[in-house]
Chains A and B, each alone.
Chain A
Amino acid sequence: EPEVTQTPSHQVTQMGQEVILRCVPISNHLYFYWYRQILGQKVEFLVSFYNNEISEKSEIFDDQFSVERPDGSNFTLKIRSTKLEDSAMYFCATQSGLNIQYFGAGTRLSVL
């Protein structure tokens, strides 16, 4: 069964450093999303991406965050200057034309 692949599974970084989280979507999917889940809290929407541009973003997705598809396959989330409160699980999700999203296993980001 096709799946969404995320790397790395765990990223440890120092406060103020830049991190890039990577996602390989399911091959025929057109819509891409990033979510985060702080430990013990809800899954929160960050951003959606379609046709090589951001289609929606939440209040969380401020100027510190950016997304891109650098090579037409990978989908990345960059955090420019990490803060302690950025520590969370980050999930990539992809979607075909139907209203169903498939999630990757996530990247656990630990900011020290």
Chain B
Amino acid sequence: QKEVEQDPGPLSVPEGAIVSLNCTYSNSAFQYFMWYRQYSRKGPELLMYTYSSGNKEDGRFTAQVDKSSKYISLFIRDSQPSDSATYLCAMTPGGGSYIPTFGRGTSLIVHP
């Protein structure tokens, strides 16, 4: 079983839609959860960062972590064509180990 599973998509939505991106994981030691956005041929850009379970909101983005289900989500409200990118989830156990385990990324296309 892979440590972090993420549907590669592509996910195609109309402008203004609410987008839900998800990852599941198997390692219960993960404590820190990140979402990165990666445009084509660019490096990952940190979007959201959460610790343990709960929700975190930043503008149009909301990150949710459910550790009991080993399931994390990123919601994008009022999606824009500029949101079209690959979204990577990543997670680390913390406690001195900072090496993130990445999902393979979900490709999102927001069409006008």
Contacts and interface: CB of A to CB of B under 8 A. Distances in A.
Interface of A: 4, 6, 31, 33, 41-45, 48, 56, 89, 91, 93, 95, 99-106, 108
Contacts of A91: 43-44
Interface residues of B, number: 22
Q: Is the interface of B mostly helix, strand, loop or mixed?
A: strand
A105 B99 CA distance: 19
Contacts of B102: 42-44
A43 B88 contact: yes
Interface of B: 32, 34, 36, 41-46, 49, 88, 90, 92, 94, 97-100, 102-105
A56 B99 contact: yes
Contacts of B104: 41-42
Given A41-B104, A42-B105, A43-B88, A99 B98 contact: yes
Contacts of B92: 99
Contacts of B46: 100-103
